[in-house]
Amino acid sequence: MDVDKPLAGITVIELGHSVAAPYAGLILADLGARVIKVENPKSGDYARGWGPPFWNGTASVFHSLNRGKEGITVDFGAAEDCERLKSLILNEADAVIQNLRPGILDKFGLTADALSAAKPSLIWCDIGAFGAKGPLASKPGYDPLAQASTGIMSVTGEGGRPPVRVGVSLVDMGSGMWAVIGMLAALVARNKGGQGRSVATSLYETGLAWMTVPLAGYAASGEVRKPYGSGTAEIAPYQAFEASDGWLMIAAGNDNLFSKLCVALSLEALAHDPDFATNAARVVNRERLIPQIAAAVRKYTADALGGILDGAGVPNAPLLTTDQVAEHPQTRALDMMVRCAGDDIDLVGVPLAFDGTRPRARTAAPALGQHNAILRKPASKGAINAN
């Protein structure tokens, strides 16, 4: 097995659209799995139209989430198409990942129970909106709805201002990651016992997981913390400060780092002030502390202060824009952005390396129905119940 393709030989059917299931499929494809994406023959994945910008007629969003996959179209209203898909799953697939609307697959007999009864080794991964049970189980959902309903938006942005969502689809993409983690665990278990299993996650559960620290704080204190912009409720100073020509994130995450920061900014008196001697004290007295640090920071350019803090051993980083990140030498050094064969757009890879090699699928995102011949091929994995 290739070191950079640990999932070589595994076939996954992706019944997904938008972000969550496609991101799960992307991870699996980069890890070497064969991922077959199923789309509606009329409209395809919604993400194909999420632009501008577009690249070769398809939204860049779609390209970023679907490279390395094969693509087929299935009309669920056509019995013949459903049977072909069912045969493909039973004869070819190790796993299915799906994030379709609750109940939509039931009417076509394409459910975990039905398919696992015919193929006990099958692993089925559901990515739902609000979870499999509870009063919101049937409610449709998207990333911003999960950010709103799990409290993420309540701790994001600045107090007293309109709510702000995190600017990337972290709940969708996090749900895709949890689906992959669950599928990999199920594969390990299947290798031991031969049986597949059903794996489930949801946007709501993922949002709750990202709220682990704020929810623990509420459980401990009963206090509902306000958002602190670039900062965090539990640590100070741990936020972005405005220099003379830009912004610098400064993370003095412990008492020793705070002392070093004070020396670097010629604020030694703060380091000896009992009101700021410990992180707990600094959090309580944040409103008096932060303005003093901010005034000192404004005397420097971001680059100059970054160099001073680096020399003092204080963690810091400039706030970069998307274009600056794309062209940053560290981004390039890590080989995170690579072009696919037959395409010329730089797309981000998975943040993993095996023995120093980053796994990466090298084919472009499929055109709608590009690999429909798969549905007409004879089975290649043998008996339906084979592992």
Percent of the chain with pLDDT over 90: 86
**How far out from the chain centre does Cα 340 lie?**
21
Catalytic status, residue 113:
no
Q: How far apart are CA 189 and CA 385, in angstroms?
A: 17
For 82, the token pair is 């459903």
Task: Please tell me the distance from the alpha carbon of residue 246 to that of residue 275, in angstroms, as a whole number.
Answer: 29
- In this structure, CATH architecture of domain 11-210+328-376: 3-Layer(aba) Sandwich (3.40)
- Tell me which of 3.40.1400.10, 1.20.1630.10, 3.30.110.30, 3.30.1540.10 is the CATH number of domain 247-318: 3.30.1540.10
Q: How large is the C-alpha radius of gyration of the chain?
A: 25
Instruction: Give the pair of three-digit tokens for residue 208.
Output: 């709750």
Per-residue pLDDT, averaged over 105-114, amounts to 89
pLDDT, tens digit, 9 for 90 and up, residues 329-363: 999 999 999 888 877 899 999 999 999 989 999 89
The residues, any chain, with a CB within 8 Å of residue 3's CB and separated by 6 or more, are: 354, 355, 357
CA distance 84 to 159: 54
| Mean predicted confidence (pLDDT) in 370-382 | 74
What per-residue confidence (pLDDT) applies to 378? 56
Take residue 195 and report the two structure tokens written for it.
């049986």
Task: Indicate where the chain has its CATH 3.30.1540.10 domain(s).
Answer: 247-318
Segments of the chain assigned to CATH 3.40.50.10540:
11-210+328-376
Which is catalytic among the residues 113, 172, 275, 303?
Answer: 172
**Nearest 5°: phi and psi at 380?**
-120, 0
Q: Cα(158)–Cα(171) distance, rounded to whole angstroms?
A: 20
d(CA 217, CA 224): 8
- Whether residue 114 is predicted with pLDDT greater than 80 in this model: the reply is yes
pLDDT of residue 384: 38
Do 195 and 40 meet the contact criterion of CB atoms below 8 Å apart? no
**pLDDT higher than 80, residue 267:** yes
Reported as a single tens digit per residue, the pLDDT across 176-188 is 999 999 999 999 9
User: Of the candidates 97, 210, 62, which has an alpha carbon nearest to the alpha carbon of residue 146?
Assistant: 210
